[in-house]
Amino acid sequence: MFPILLQFGNFAIYAYGVMLALAFAIGVFGLTREARKAGLNEDKMLEMTIWIIVAALVGSRVLYILIELPVYLADPLSVFAVRSGGLSFHGGLAGGILAGLIYTRRHKLPQGIVADLVAPYLALGYAIVRIGCLLNGCCFGRPTGVPWALPSAYLDSTPRHPTQLYAFLASLLIFFILLYRKQKIRFHGQLFMEFIVLYSIYRFFIEFYRDATLLVGFLTLGQIASIIAAVGAYVAIRLWPFGRREKA
Protein backbone atom coordinates (compact mmCIF):
# COMPACT_ATOMS: atom_id res chain seq x y z
CA MET A 1 0.00 0.00 0.00
CA PHE A 2 1.03 3.61 -0.50
CA PRO A 3 -0.67 5.71 2.19
CA ILE A 4 1.78 8.57 1.60
CA LEU A 5 2.12 9.71 -2.00
CA LEU A 6 4.78 12.37 -1.41
CA GLN A 7 6.76 13.55 1.58
CA PHE A 8 8.89 16.66 2.05
CA GLY A 9 10.56 16.52 5.44
CA ASN A 10 7.80 16.42 8.03
CA PHE A 11 5.16 17.38 5.47
CA ALA A 12 3.31 14.46 3.86
CA ILE A 13 0.67 14.24 1.15
CA TYR A 14 -1.65 11.34 1.93
CA ALA A 15 -3.21 9.22 -0.81
CA TYR A 16 -6.62 9.07 0.83
CA GLY A 17 -6.82 12.85 1.16
CA VAL A 18 -5.75 13.36 -2.46
CA MET A 19 -8.38 10.93 -3.76
CA LEU A 20 -11.03 12.51 -1.54
CA ALA A 21 -10.17 15.98 -2.84
CA LEU A 22 -10.14 14.69 -6.43
CA ALA A 23 -13.57 13.13 -5.97
CA PHE A 24 -15.00 16.38 -4.64
CA ALA A 25 -13.37 18.41 -7.44
CA ILE A 26 -14.77 16.18 -10.18
CA GLY A 27 -18.16 16.20 -8.49
CA VAL A 28 -18.23 20.01 -8.31
CA PHE A 29 -17.15 20.34 -11.95
CA GLY A 30 -19.71 17.83 -13.19
CA LEU A 31 -22.55 19.19 -11.08
CA THR A 32 -22.05 22.81 -12.09
CA ARG A 33 -21.84 21.79 -15.75
CA GLU A 34 -25.09 19.83 -15.49
CA ALA A 35 -26.69 22.73 -13.60
CA ARG A 36 -25.86 25.05 -16.49
CA LYS A 37 -27.56 22.68 -18.93
CA ALA A 38 -30.62 22.49 -16.68
CA GLY A 39 -30.87 26.28 -16.45
CA LEU A 40 -30.04 26.44 -12.74
CA ASN A 41 -27.96 29.15 -11.07
CA GLU A 42 -24.36 27.90 -11.13
CA ASP A 43 -23.25 30.05 -8.19
CA LYS A 44 -26.01 28.67 -5.99
CA MET A 45 -25.18 25.11 -7.05
CA LEU A 46 -21.52 25.68 -6.24
CA GLU A 47 -22.37 27.12 -2.83
CA MET A 48 -24.75 24.22 -2.17
CA THR A 49 -22.03 21.74 -3.11
CA ILE A 50 -19.64 23.28 -0.60
CA TRP A 51 -22.25 23.00 2.17
CA ILE A 52 -22.96 19.39 1.16
CA ILE A 53 -19.26 18.53 1.22
CA VAL A 54 -18.81 19.98 4.72
CA ALA A 55 -21.95 18.26 6.03
CA ALA A 56 -20.96 14.97 4.40
CA LEU A 57 -17.50 15.05 5.96
CA VAL A 58 -18.92 15.85 9.40
CA GLY A 59 -21.67 13.24 9.10
CA SER A 60 -19.32 10.53 7.89
CA ARG A 61 -16.85 11.19 10.69
CA VAL A 62 -19.49 11.39 13.42
CA LEU A 63 -21.12 8.09 12.42
CA TYR A 64 -17.74 6.36 12.17
CA ILE A 65 -16.83 7.57 15.66
CA LEU A 66 -20.16 6.33 17.03
CA ILE A 67 -19.60 2.92 15.42
CA GLU A 68 -16.10 2.69 16.87
CA LEU A 69 -16.95 4.53 20.09
CA PRO A 70 -14.92 2.32 22.50
CA VAL A 71 -11.77 3.04 20.49
CA TYR A 72 -12.29 6.80 20.66
CA LEU A 73 -13.27 6.77 24.32
CA ALA A 74 -9.93 5.11 25.05
CA ASP A 75 -8.06 7.69 22.95
CA PRO A 76 -10.19 10.88 22.57
CA LEU A 77 -7.53 12.76 20.58
CA SER A 78 -7.79 10.17 17.79
CA VAL A 79 -11.12 11.79 16.89
CA PHE A 80 -9.10 14.34 14.91
CA ALA A 81 -6.87 11.76 13.17
CA VAL A 82 -8.84 11.50 9.93
CA ARG A 83 -5.89 10.68 7.66
CA SER A 84 -6.40 6.96 8.37
CA GLY A 85 -9.69 7.01 6.45
CA GLY A 86 -12.09 6.85 9.39
CA LEU A 87 -15.22 7.92 7.49
CA SER A 88 -18.61 6.24 7.08
CA PHE A 89 -20.35 6.61 3.73
CA HIS A 90 -23.81 6.18 5.24
CA GLY A 91 -23.10 9.02 7.68
CA GLY A 92 -21.77 11.18 4.88
CA LEU A 93 -24.81 10.42 2.73
CA ALA A 94 -27.18 11.37 5.55
CA GLY A 95 -25.30 14.59 6.27
CA GLY A 96 -25.12 15.53 2.61
CA ILE A 97 -28.81 14.86 2.01
CA LEU A 98 -29.79 16.95 5.02
CA ALA A 99 -27.60 19.86 3.91
CA GLY A 100 -28.91 19.61 0.36
CA LEU A 101 -32.54 19.60 1.46
CA ILE A 102 -32.04 22.61 3.72
CA TYR A 103 -30.15 24.60 1.08
CA THR A 104 -32.51 23.84 -1.82
CA ARG A 105 -35.55 24.66 0.33
CA ARG A 106 -34.04 27.93 1.54
CA HIS A 107 -33.03 29.04 -1.96
CA LYS A 108 -36.14 27.64 -3.68
CA LEU A 109 -34.23 25.25 -5.93
CA PRO A 110 -36.08 22.24 -7.44
CA GLN A 111 -35.08 19.50 -5.01
CA GLY A 112 -35.87 16.53 -7.26
CA ILE A 113 -33.97 17.93 -10.23
CA VAL A 114 -30.96 18.83 -8.09
CA ALA A 115 -30.92 15.38 -6.50
CA ASP A 116 -30.93 13.72 -9.93
CA LEU A 117 -28.02 15.90 -11.05
CA VAL A 118 -26.03 14.90 -7.97
CA ALA A 119 -26.63 11.14 -8.19
CA PRO A 120 -24.20 10.09 -10.99
CA TYR A 121 -21.35 12.19 -9.62
CA LEU A 122 -21.92 10.80 -6.15
CA ALA A 123 -21.33 7.33 -7.57
CA LEU A 124 -18.26 8.47 -9.51
CA GLY A 125 -16.81 10.26 -6.49
CA TYR A 126 -17.34 7.18 -4.35
CA ALA A 127 -15.41 5.11 -6.91
CA ILE A 128 -12.46 7.51 -6.79
CA VAL A 129 -12.36 7.49 -2.99
CA ARG A 130 -12.22 3.66 -2.98
CA ILE A 131 -8.88 3.92 -4.81
CA GLY A 132 -7.78 6.12 -1.93
CA CYS A 133 -8.85 3.36 0.45
CA LEU A 134 -6.77 0.83 -1.47
CA LEU A 135 -3.68 3.05 -1.35
CA ASN A 136 -4.31 3.82 2.31
CA GLY A 137 -4.91 0.18 3.28
CA CYS A 138 -8.32 0.74 4.91
CA CYS A 139 -11.73 -0.83 4.19
CA PHE A 140 -9.93 -4.07 3.37
CA GLY A 141 -11.36 -7.52 2.76
CA ARG A 142 -11.14 -10.88 4.48
CA PRO A 143 -8.08 -13.13 4.05
CA THR A 144 -8.44 -15.34 0.98
CA GLY A 145 -6.54 -17.57 -1.42
CA VAL A 146 -8.15 -16.36 -4.65
CA PRO A 147 -5.65 -15.63 -7.47
CA TRP A 148 -6.41 -11.88 -7.41
CA ALA A 149 -5.88 -11.49 -3.65
CA LEU A 150 -3.78 -8.51 -2.58
CA PRO A 151 -2.07 -7.42 0.65
CA SER A 152 -4.67 -4.66 0.86
CA ALA A 153 -4.55 -3.93 4.61
CA TYR A 154 -2.20 -1.33 6.06
CA LEU A 155 0.99 -2.90 7.50
CA ASP A 156 -0.37 -6.40 6.84
CA SER A 157 0.98 -8.66 4.07
CA THR A 158 -1.85 -11.19 4.35
CA PRO A 159 -3.50 -11.78 0.93
CA ARG A 160 -7.06 -10.46 1.13
CA HIS A 161 -10.06 -9.79 -1.03
CA PRO A 162 -9.29 -6.37 -2.58
CA THR A 163 -12.72 -5.07 -1.64
CA GLN A 164 -11.58 -1.55 -2.41
CA LEU A 165 -11.23 -2.57 -6.07
CA TYR A 166 -14.55 -4.42 -5.97
CA ALA A 167 -16.13 -1.20 -4.70
CA PHE A 168 -14.37 0.88 -7.36
CA LEU A 169 -15.65 -1.32 -10.19
CA ALA A 170 -19.18 -1.57 -8.76
CA SER A 171 -19.38 2.20 -8.32
CA LEU A 172 -18.21 2.84 -11.88
CA LEU A 173 -20.91 0.46 -13.08
CA ILE A 174 -23.50 2.34 -11.02
CA PHE A 175 -22.25 5.63 -12.50
CA PHE A 176 -22.79 4.42 -16.07
CA ILE A 177 -26.16 2.89 -15.21
CA LEU A 178 -27.31 6.24 -13.81
CA LEU A 179 -26.10 8.09 -16.91
CA TYR A 180 -28.14 5.65 -19.01
CA ARG A 181 -31.19 5.93 -16.76
CA LYS A 182 -31.34 9.72 -16.41
CA GLN A 183 -33.52 10.13 -19.52
CA LYS A 184 -35.83 7.27 -18.54
CA ILE A 185 -37.06 8.34 -15.11
CA ARG A 186 -40.76 8.99 -14.40
CA PHE A 187 -40.34 11.79 -11.87
CA HIS A 188 -37.72 14.17 -10.56
CA GLY A 189 -35.82 12.61 -7.68
CA GLN A 190 -36.12 9.07 -9.01
CA LEU A 191 -32.53 8.88 -10.25
CA PHE A 192 -31.21 9.69 -6.78
CA MET A 193 -33.47 7.02 -5.30
CA GLU A 194 -32.16 4.55 -7.87
CA PHE A 195 -28.63 5.41 -6.79
CA ILE A 196 -29.52 4.55 -3.19
CA VAL A 197 -31.03 1.22 -4.28
CA LEU A 198 -28.03 0.30 -6.46
CA TYR A 199 -25.50 1.38 -3.84
CA SER A 200 -27.32 -0.56 -1.12
CA ILE A 201 -27.40 -3.74 -3.22
CA TYR A 202 -23.68 -3.47 -3.94
CA ARG A 203 -22.87 -2.69 -0.30
CA PHE A 204 -24.96 -5.58 1.04
CA PHE A 205 -23.10 -8.16 -1.01
CA ILE A 206 -19.61 -6.72 -0.69
CA GLU A 207 -19.90 -6.81 3.10
CA PHE A 208 -19.61 -10.61 2.92
CA TYR A 209 -16.04 -10.11 1.67
CA ARG A 210 -15.03 -7.18 3.89
CA ASP A 211 -13.29 -7.67 7.21
CA ALA A 212 -16.22 -6.19 9.12
CA THR A 213 -17.69 -6.97 12.54
CA LEU A 214 -20.99 -8.86 12.59
CA LEU A 215 -23.75 -7.00 14.39
CA VAL A 216 -26.88 -9.17 14.17
CA GLY A 217 -26.52 -12.83 13.23
CA PHE A 218 -24.55 -12.94 9.98
CA LEU A 219 -25.25 -9.29 9.15
CA THR A 220 -22.94 -6.31 9.61
CA LEU A 221 -24.05 -2.77 10.40
CA GLY A 222 -23.41 -1.84 6.77
CA GLN A 223 -25.74 -4.59 5.57
CA ILE A 224 -28.51 -3.61 7.96
CA ALA A 225 -28.22 0.03 6.88
CA SER A 226 -28.23 -1.07 3.24
CA ILE A 227 -31.43 -3.10 3.67
CA ILE A 228 -33.20 -0.16 5.32
CA ALA A 229 -31.98 2.31 2.68
CA ALA A 230 -32.81 0.04 -0.27
CA VAL A 231 -36.32 -0.74 0.97
CA GLY A 232 -37.01 2.92 1.75
CA ALA A 233 -35.77 4.13 -1.65
CA TYR A 234 -37.65 1.40 -3.53
CA VAL A 235 -40.89 2.26 -1.73
CA ALA A 236 -40.32 5.93 -2.57
CA ILE A 237 -39.87 5.06 -6.25
CA ARG A 238 -42.95 2.85 -6.43
CA LEU A 239 -45.38 4.62 -4.16
CA TRP A 240 -44.24 8.17 -3.42
CA PRO A 241 -42.98 10.12 -6.47
CA PHE A 242 -41.99 13.57 -5.23
CA GLY A 243 -42.84 15.32 -8.48
CA ARG A 244 -43.78 13.70 -11.76
CA ARG A 245 -42.47 15.16 -15.00
CA GLU A 246 -44.88 17.34 -16.88
CA LYS A 247 -46.06 15.83 -20.13
CA ALA A 248 -45.00 17.64 -23.26
Write the pLDDT tens digit of every residue in 213-225.
Answer: 887 888 988 899 9
**Start-to-end C-alpha separation, the chain:** 54
Helices 89-106 & 221-239 angle (0-180, nearest 10): 40
The whole domain housing 97 covers 4-179
Mean pLDDT of 230-234: 94
Q: Is the pLDDT of residue 168 over 50?
A: yes
Question: Considering the chain, what percentage of its residues have pLDDT values greater than 70?
Answer: 90
Q: What is the pLDDT of residues 80-120, one digit of tens each?
A: 665 555 677 888 889 999 999 999 999 999 999 999 999 99
Inside any domain, residue 238:
no
Inside any domain, residue 18:
yes
Closest CA to 201 of 229, 178, 172: 229
Question: Considering the chain, what percentage of its residues have pLDDT values greater than 90?
Answer: 55
The confidence score (pLDDT) of residue 216 equals: 83
Band of residue 139 on the pLDDT scale cut at 50, 70, 90: confident
The total of structural domains in the chain comes to 1
Measure the CA–CA gap between 16 and 216, rounded to whole angstroms.
30
Inside any domain, residue 205:
no
Band of residue 4 on the pLDDT scale cut at 50, 70, 90: confident
Q: Is the pLDDT of residue 79 over 70?
A: no
Average pLDDT for the chain: 87
Inside any domain, residue 226:
no
The confidence score (pLDDT) of residue 84 equals: 54
